[in-house]
Structure 1
Amino acid sequence: METKTHHFLSLIVFVYIPFSVSFTPLDNYLISCGSHANASLSNRLFVGDSTKPNSVFLSADRSILVTDQNPPVNSPTLYNTARVFRSPSSYRFNIKKKGTHLVRFHFSPFVAQGFDLTSAKFSVLVNGYSLLRDFQLNNTTVLKEFTLKIDKDELELMFTPVGNSGFGFVNGIEVFSAPADLIIDYGARLISLDGIGEYRNLSSQVLETIHRINVGGSKLTPFNDTLWRTWIPDEDYIVFKSAAKRASTTHTPNYQKGGASREIAPDNVYMTAQQMNRDNSTFNAMFNITWNFPVGPGGVGYLVRLHFCDIVSPALNLLYFDIYINQYSAYRDLDLSSLTTHMLGSPIYLDFVVDSDDSGVIQISVGPSVLSSTFRVNAILNGAEIMKMVNVTSMENVSKKKKKWVVVGSVIGGFLFLSLAILALLLALRCRKKKPKQRSAESVGWTPLRMHGGSSLSRMSDGTAYASPGQNGYFGLKIACADVQLATNNFDRNLIIGSGGFGMVYKGVLRDNRKVAVKRALPGSRQGLPEFQSEITVLSKIRHRHLVSLVGYCDENSEMILVYEYMEKGPLKKHLYGSGFPPLSWKQRLEICIGSARGLHYLHTGFAQGIIHRDIKSTNILLDEDYVAKVADFGLSRSGPCLNETHVSTGVKGSFGYLDPEYFRRQQLTDKSDVYSFGVVLFEVLCARPAVDPLLAREQVNLGELALEWQKKGMLEHVIDPHLVGQIKPSSLKKFGETAEKCLADYGVDRPTMGDVLWNLEHALQLQESGCQREPNADSNVNASVNARPTIVPGVPSSNVRTEGDDGNGSSDISTSQVFSQLMTNEGR
């Protein structure tokens, strides 16, 4: 009955939507190849190339026109003729408007005039770059579509036969201008082993369309698309059909500036979707909808474009969900309401750049967020496009490279002689005392742990050099797998409270009645072992009231399990925006920032080298039941530089929007990289919006840049959280804004230390509570007079970092039964 209802609704949608108003491109060439007459396809007129269309030049001295004398019934006239090339031949098109264009090749083989087109083998080049190499096809009609930027006044399409007896052919060609916003250079998320970053200059890539999917809907033909595209249903790609439920609407999308347009995807795509099938009794609330799209061998980059339009919610801010691509967390806590200027039914799209793996499949999943209301757990997807990034090769460059090697060969003998002389000099210099070198990522990363009595199946017993285990060894933190199973009722799915790239997170209770969060790695997790080791190494040797605590770990029977203390209020982020929680007061926010700064200051200064967190963000600051803040998730942490070094050289990792630009440019990590990320968090706390919102106007996408602009104008109050209006004393806001601004300095040398940041935040709180002024070098007794708060004077070592319950070394004697980690938040990297 449900299926019939869906087909009926789909029919209503199809009938209701008026036929798409055609996009009018400035360049628009539709060529019927090998024909003296015009041909039609999808109500579009293709001009016969033998009639020499205006602005089209054909160089095909040895080409042959062939016609199918017995075409299939209802075969489009475009596919009844073809031009066969027996030598390199080309079409040249005059380009009126430089920029992104769509180029399509129509191939439909048949047998005629002594040519069996199924045996053709050829390559196709565009302006000298190879798009199709050694191309062959079976007895099927194939459409090849490419999106590329043309920066010349002419476009040349060359067909080159492969082999002495080879030939090539084509039935039809389309070349037309694309809308300016079809492919934009900014906003795409790069999903990789190193985390999430930004992919830039996307429009310079040549993209080959692999899949174009109307999720939850029926097939859409070019007649219903302003760019004459075909969209196919998702039924053949969805992994568990019972996990999904179709949704549709009869209301046309509310297109808005900054979102999607009809050229990005047609109305019908945004009017249908797949949503979580919560009616199916075989599933509980925590599951994903997953699609597998075959793409071919691994090692190739792909643009994955996902289309969304909230047609399932009765009101705004009810739909929060997560996106996973190839099992990586690609987007957490997606709130369509916040990305569409707060209007239901407004289409948006998100771009991701990913690499395929050896499975030859791009896997896309959507699932519930931890911010979802208990009664509003849902996730949707309206459409998906997958485009291959073509690794184009210029034939001209290949020829130049060959000539270059001839030149190189002529001088290589002299080079070798010179090298021998230099080698002799270097050997002499080796006798001198070496200067300290910058350490590589491997030398500064956390080493694997020594296991005392570990299982033979231990993931960390690899016989390498280990870090010192301390007085009781890491074995003192080891928890038997049986105890973990008991705490989680044998990993009962009803106790799942989160999931991410590492695996599932369960709520549990240990034998001593401590509430814990149990993070269990997925089998074969790609990003599991390094983070597993790093978390244990860091958390086993630190103890501080404002750092999350590790209860223990399990490393038996190939399991990787981390057990954390439970944090009652969860991540800071969900108390700032998108969750419906009561807004935090300004005093609460200041105290949370102060607590977080204390934890980071201890990390940076509490050890000889210090520890750099490397992933500071609002989801990695957790709140207990009293809103005490603790810094969490040390999976990316690294040792700081030695005394005779200024930085650590390592690959860039972190989270998009919080990443230190100097670290990104130079790959040189310092504790000032954490300071930069913390500065973004400060503005996030003040403004209650995400660090990056790619669907806002370009100048508003990055929160740090936007807030800095208003701060420098002295008008920061224009972008603060509306809930704080009238709450903040001007002097407190001024001090807070100045502190955040200094944290976001372009160069680390210009940023304050975390001790300085802590001192200024405490000053901002004092200004808020009493209005009294304090000079930067005030004595700590002044600070102690206000709420007995400690003072951190710039430059004072970590022994002065004292919090209630601290023992003077940053450790704490408070109960750790309320601590939890970011792992609850489904956040992957």
Structure 2
Amino acid sequence: MVDWRNFGFFICALSILPLVCFCATTFVPLDNYLIDCGASANTSVGNRNFTSDSSSKGLLSTPQDVLATNPSNSNPSSSDDSPLYQTARIFTGPSKYTFPIKQKGRHWIRLYFFPFTYQKYNLSSSNFSVSIQNHVLFGSFNMQKNPVKKEYSFNVTSDTLVINFSPSDNSTAFVNAMEVVSTPDDLIGDDASTLNPPGSYSGLVTQALETVWRVNMGGPTLTPANDTLQRTWIPDQRFLLQPNNALSFSNVDAVKYQDGGPTMNIAPATVYGTLTQMNSSGDPRSNFNVTWQFDVDPGFQYLVRLHFCDIVSKGLNELYFNVYVDSSVAIQNLDLSMESNNVLGVPYYKDLVTALAVSNTLRVSVGPFSVNGGYPNAILNGLEIMKMNNSMGSLSSATGSVAITSGSSSKKVGMIAGVVVGVFSAVILAAVFVVLCKKRRRLARQRQSKTWVPLSINDGTTSHTMGSKYSNGTTLSIASNFEYRVPFLAVQEATNNFDENWVIGIGGFGKVYKGELSDGTKVAVKRGNPRSQQGLAEFRTEIEMLSQFRHRHLVSLIGYCDEKNEMILIYEYMEKGTLKSHLYGSGLPSLSWKERLEICIGSARGLHYLHTGYAKAVIHRDVKSANILLDENLMAKVADFGLSKTGPEIDQTHVSTAVKGSFGYLDPEYFRRQQLTEKSDVYSFGVVLFEVLCARPVIDPTLPREMVNLAEWAMKWQKKGQLEQIIDPTLAGKIRPDSLRKFGETAEKCLADFGVDRPSMGDVLWNLEYALQLQEAVVQGDPEENSTNMIGELSPQVNNFNHDASVSAVQFEGSSVDDLSGVSMSRVFSQLVKSEGR
């Protein structure tokens, strides 16, 4: 017979065991400074004890002791940390706290602020900055009449951590309380994924981070008492753009932490056990996204941590969904069962690094993935958004520079230090001047002898004049397979020492600077970011590819620099920027339909040349509107060849390679089969055509579900024969119906599911020129005066030219084989011969 009393005890013990195990592994920080600033005695907040900085001898250095007491009538009683806001330490001059560090590594720094009036000090008008070693936490902080807790994390590599408070002119600084606490080593890893373009990011360990938002989706506010690392999590309702689309769900008991996976230190069970999901209202046809919007500071990258835990599914592999950050696909077809060893309720998180923010908002969306045909749903359990320090080490969005100083208790000491620094600076400047003079003399000798060192990829045995001159008058030479190096010092001069005010773009490879040579020639200088997911391979590919090309619709490479571990590419400057910027998002004047057609035609010419201009085709692999640049006359040139790849051999139909490209433009057949052909570029170009027509992003998760993907949405209207319903409103009534019909048919053919059904770039070019003719005048001799099926009804010469593999290029009268852009394709198409049987 079963002893039910013992059995009950056994069950109880089993239920407690996991809690005991997790309690045994609870993180205990070696450094745990909790300071109540300005207090005369220690203060207890929950189960935490804050020590008065008056009794913490040796921590504080300040020119004047000003301890302020908060009047009771301004007590923030609604705050759980309210005891900490009763007092404040006021700083009338530069001051600092110095904390001995027992264990190096990442630490929390939490600062508490609540302004009140104390005697002659009105803390609401305080204006000051706070900095630590090598990092500015904030550069100008104007107080508001509410409690503020600012949280940072920083990798401490020295034996002390110094926090500096620097009042602005004629102002004061203050702080109510602070924390300096060790964090677990695995809380923030070194690696993450990037969003635009998709890839990997390394180097988080060196980043200072500011917690901007920490949100518990579908759950309540979590106070530090409910979190193993004393974090605060806030509800998500106020961030939802369309609350009616969202539904909260809770099942904390379903959360199962597993060995090797996220622990309670990553996020507590109350976060993983609650979520916000689609409010489908029982409709299996529901097709929309749930979107949250958060305020951020532009000009910074952000680490976005997404928390997931499937506590809603009844069985494995039921839940498939997509995750978007702004207009980028962050995670596609996420199946949490696959991420948790086929166990439901196991926490999972994903770290993503955004591109440099250009907007003051950041949106996160989840929506269903419809491929499996199951019941539509998408979830998010928790979210953290952390600002990453900029290239100057600052987390401050304030303009102007902020000195990182240790403070001083004496004006005399400051004066002496200033004199010493001044003398030292003068010595350093003199030394630098001598070094620069020597470098200038050495460069002058190089200029006289024109001893430019060629890229070693082809042994530098030959050169051919490119016709482009560098600032010193030296003609840079270019061969079919190599280019010339440019000295790093010369690149610095051209970009005003990489002045941040000269940045004209930021991509996956790095920043692009506007530059000017001494003869007034404008150039674009792309400087590789050593932490970028695009590295040496892309750098080398760009040089190898562009050194072979000479075409008016391909951006010209002027030179490169690989000194001092730098990867720098120098291009001709394109005055009007990217095609994308002229379509949406930048406020530039709208392009006319003729201008758009001519830009598409120029881009098609450049891609057609890539595919046919040499014995082996060159496949771009990243065709998109951001990689089509415009000169001062709006002439289009294809750019960014870092992902380019040579096409298949004569006896092959494709190249097998890992998938690379940009979401929204990526050829689905290439994605599925990892088999690359020229038709992958054709698909991407088809997306660009619809982007040009509709003037909207190719992926926009803020739109209704059926409109998120531009290619899918536009194809639906094209197949209905109602493409005019979705065109850019500025073009309404300005496009001739026949021209629009021809353009839509061309784009539709490009987006065929299988590459064999897509036209060549030569066919696309022919049809775009025909669409332009239809726009400008009625075509004579066309019996039906429409453009139906023109792609499939080319002249016999054009239809059959693909089958002649004996000739790879044709000379045209008055035109060189390497630049066909000046020849009307509609006039010479019957003469084209292309080797397509490769």
Q: For the superposition of Structure 1 and Structure 2, which TM-score range results when normalised by the shorter chain?
A: 0.5 to 0.7
Query: 1:445 & 1:548 partners in 2: Cα distance?
Result: 30
Partner of 2:117: 111
Partner of 2:54: 50
What is the SS of the residue equivalent to 1:268?
Answer: helix
Of residues 263, 266, 273, the one that matches 2:265 is 263
CA contact (8 A) 1:543 1:810 kept: no
- For the pair 1:549 / 2:758, whether they are aligned, the reply is yes
What is the SS of the residue equivalent to 1:236?
Answer: helix
After TM superposition, the structure 1 = structure 2 runs for residues 686-725 of structure 1, keeping only pairs within 5 Å, are: none
Partner of 1:706: none
Partner of 1:170: 175
Query: 1:469 & 1:196 partners in 2: Cα distance?
Result: 23
After TM superposition, the structure 1 = structure 2 runs for residues 363-382 of structure 1, keeping only pairs within 5 Å, are: 363-373=363-373, 375-382=374-381
Aligned-residue CA RMSD (Å): 5.2
Query: 2:116 & 2:72 partners in 1: Cα distance?
Result: 9
Report the Cα offset of residue 159 of structure 1. Answer: 1.4
Query: 1:323 & 1:539 partners in 2: Cα distance?
Result: 29
Query: 1:445 & 1:386 partners in 2: Cα distance?
Result: 45
Report the Cα offset of residue 248 of structure 1. Answer: 1.4
What is the SS of the residue equivalent to 1:345?
Answer: coil
CA contact (8 A) 1:447 1:467 kept: no
Deviations 1:106-126 (A, max 9, x none): 111111131111122222122
Partner of 1:425: 449
- For the pair 1:200 / 2:206, whether they are aligned, the reply is no
Report the Cα offset of residue 405 of structure 1. Answer: 4.6
What is the SS of the residue equivalent to 2:249?
Answer: strand
What is the SS of the residue equivalent to 1:467?
Answer: helix
What is the SS of the residue equivalent to 2:237?
Answer: coil
- For the pair 1:384 / 2:408, whether they are aligned, the reply is no
In structure 2, the CA distance between the partners of 1:227 and 1:536, relative to structure 1 (3 Å rule), is farther
Over the matched positions of the two proteins, sequence identity in percent amounts to: 33
Report the Cα offset of residue 359 of structure 1. Answer: 2.3
Larger relative contact order, structure 1 or 2 (CA cutoff 8 Å, min sep 6): 1
Partner of 2:301: 301
Partner of 1:715: none
Q: Which amino acid aligns with 1:458?
A: R
Deviations 1:280-305 (A, max 9, x none): 87x95321111111102x22110000
Partner of 2:38: 34
Query: 2:99 & 2:264 partners in 1: Cα distance?
Result: 27
CA contact (8 A) 1:94 1:154 kept: yes
In structure 2, the CA distance between the partners of 1:480 and 1:382, relative to structure 1 (3 Å rule), is closer
CA contact (8 A) 1:122 1:133 kept: yes
Report the Cα offset of residue 241 of structure 1. Answer: 1.4
What is the SS of the residue equivalent to 2:29?
Answer: coil
Deviations 1:472-525 (A, max 9, x none): x99xx99999xx99xxxxxxxxx988954866475689699xxxx99x99999x
In structure 2, the CA distance between the partners of 1:218 and 1:480, relative to structure 1 (3 Å rule), is closer
Report the Cα offset of residue 208 of structure 1. Answer: 0.1
- For the pair 1:461 / 2:567, whether they are aligned, the reply is no
Partner of 1:291: 292
Partner of 1:63: 65
Deviations 1:336-391 (A, max 9, x none): 01111111111111100003533211111111113333x32111001111000023
Deviations 1:400-449 (A, max 9, x none): 98875554345555655554454343399968986443565777699879
What is the SS of the residue equivalent to 1:269?
Answer: helix
Report how many aligned residue pairs link the two structures: 519
Provide structure 1 residue ranges, at least 5 long, that are not aligned to the other structure: 1-16, 486-494, 525-532, 558-562, 565-601, 610-641, 644-806, 812-829
In structure 2, the CA distance between the partners of 1:134 and 1:379, relative to structure 1 (3 Å rule), is same
Query: 1:606 & 1:370 partners in 2: Cα distance?
Result: 46
Which region of structure 1 is more displaced relative to structure 2, 332-341 or 250-259? Answer: 250-259
Query: 2:193 & 2:345 partners in 1: Cα distance?
Result: 24
CA contact (8 A) 1:329 1:501 kept: no
Which region of structure 1 is more displaced relative to structure 2, 431-440 or 267-276? Answer: 431-440
Query: 2:230 & 2:714 partners in 1: Cα distance?
Result: 45
Query: 2:705 & 2:361 partners in 1: Cα distance?
Result: 28
Partner of 1:240: 242
Report the Cα offset of residue 145 of structure 1. Answer: 0.5
What is the SS of the residue equivalent to 1:50?
Answer: coil
Query: 2:227 & 2:172 partners in 1: Cα distance?
Result: 34
Q: Which amino acid aligns with 1:376?
A: Y
Partner of 1:339: 339
Report the Cα offset of residue 328 of structure 1. Answer: 0.6
Query: 1:82 & 1:28 partners in 2: Cα distance?
Result: 20
Partner of 1:230: 232
- For the pair 1:185 / 2:168, whether they are aligned, the reply is no
In structure 2, the CA distance between the partners of 1:122 and 1:248, relative to structure 1 (3 Å rule), is same
Query: 2:363 & 2:180 partners in 1: Cα distance?
Result: 31
CA contact (8 A) 2:306 2:384 kept: yes
Q: Which amino acid aligns with 1:372?
A: N
Partner of 2:167: 161
What is the SS of the residue equivalent to 2:232?
Answer: coil
What is the SS of the residue equivalent to 2:229?
Answer: coil
Report the Cα offset of residue 205 of structure 1. Answer: 0.8
Deviations 1:776-800 (A, max 9, x none): xxxxxxxxxxxxxxxxxxxxxxxxx
What is the SS of the residue equivalent to 1:77?
Answer: helix
CA contact (8 A) 2:551 2:606 kept: no
CA contact (8 A) 1:319 1:372 kept: no
CA contact (8 A) 2:248 2:274 kept: yes
Which region of structure 1 is more displaced relative to structure 2, 59-68 or 207-216? Answer: 59-68
In structure 2, the CA distance between the partners of 1:465 and 1:249, relative to structure 1 (3 Å rule), is closer
After TM superposition, the structure 1 = structure 2 runs for residues 540-579 of structure 1, keeping only pairs within 5 Å, are: 547=756, 549=758
Partner of 1:123: 129
What is the SS of the residue equivalent to 1:24?
Answer: coil
- For the pair 1:85 / 2:102, whether they are aligned, the reply is no
In structure 2, the CA distance between the partners of 1:522 and 1:239, relative to structure 1 (3 Å rule), is farther
In structure 2, the CA distance between the partners of 1:415 and 1:41, relative to structure 1 (3 Å rule), is same
Which region of structure 1 is more displaced relative to structure 2, 214-223 or 243-252? Answer: 243-252
Q: Which amino acid aligns with 1:171?
A: N
CA contact (8 A) 2:212 2:385 kept: yes
What is the SS of the residue equivalent to 1:461?
Answer: helix
CA contact (8 A) 1:329 1:500 kept: no
In structure 2, the CA distance between the partners of 1:234 and 1:496, relative to structure 1 (3 Å rule), is closer
CA contact (8 A) 2:228 2:268 kept: yes
Query: 2:99 & 2:444 partners in 1: Cα distance?
Result: 55
CA contact (8 A) 1:301 1:388 kept: yes
CA contact (8 A) 1:447 1:466 kept: no
In structure 2, the CA distance between the partners of 1:43 and 1:433, relative to structure 1 (3 Å rule), is closer
What is the SS of the residue equivalent to 2:594?
Answer: coil
CA contact (8 A) 2:304 2:353 kept: yes
After TM superposition, the structure 1 = structure 2 runs for residues 259-658 of structure 1, keeping only pairs within 5 Å, are: 259-279=261-281, 284-296=285-297, 298-373=298-373, 375-391=374-390, 392=393, 395=404, 404-409=428-433, 412=436, 415-416=439-440, 419-426=443-450, 435-436=479-480, 437-438=482-483, 440=543, 455-456=593-594, 458=596, 460-461=598-599, 464=602, 467=605, 500=709, 504=713, 506=715, 547=756, 549=758
Partner of 1:218: 220
In structure 2, the CA distance between the partners of 1:340 and 1:607, relative to structure 1 (3 Å rule), is farther
Query: 2:326 & 2:176 partners in 1: Cα distance?
Result: 37
In structure 2, the CA distance between the partners of 1:390 and 1:480, relative to structure 1 (3 Å rule), is closer
